[in-house]
Amino acid sequence: MTKIKAGDKEIDFGAASLADVSMNLPDLVDALKKDPSPQNLLKVEGELNKLQSEAQNANELVKGFLVKQDTQAAGVPTTQSAIGWLFAGRKKGSQWDGTPNVGKQVPVIATNDEVVVTRDVYLRADEPSNQHTRGSVVKTLRAGVSVKVLDTDCSNDALSGGCFLWLKAQPE
């Protein structure tokens, strides 16, 4: 597991963004409890979309930092043999729902397929009962890395319908 050192501008900015998200979420929940009207719901939805964007940007900064730190510290490519779960994207039927993290046009991915990562992603350790987001980060994979699919999991339902597609993968 990569250790993050304090004082890096990217990490400091990412941490500040995540702190902002954490501080604003309870206020939005309270606002909905006090006034569940449709007008207020639209306002809160807009604020939640802004917070989601901030959290995604912070996550990308942290991933980029981890890739950079792994490469500098070890002096080796960050794709060395590691096995773990990566989030491929949200899937609805035979289509992606949003932008996937892998370069496969149709989200029908099977064991032994080779897929290319299209943006930096975390490779996470196994967790009981398929709680992949809770797995510790084994490695950060850079966009452009090819991985061999060892297993797939699409059992977690997405709120918007469909499922979250996770791939157990090994970088090649």
Q: How many domains does the chain have?
A: 2
Indicate whether this model's pTM tops 0.75. Answer: no
Q: Do 93 and 163 reside in the same domain of the chain?
A: yes
In tens, the pLDDT along 105-115 reads: 766 888 999 99
Q: Do 110 and 147 reside in the same domain of the chain?
A: yes
Is residue 4 domain-resident?
no
Final residue belonging to a domain, choices 51, 74, 97? 74
In tens, the pLDDT along 119-154 reads: 989 999 988 877 888 888 888 898 999 999 999 998
- Domain of residue 121 covers 84-171
> CA–CA separation, 31 vs 41, rounded Å?
9
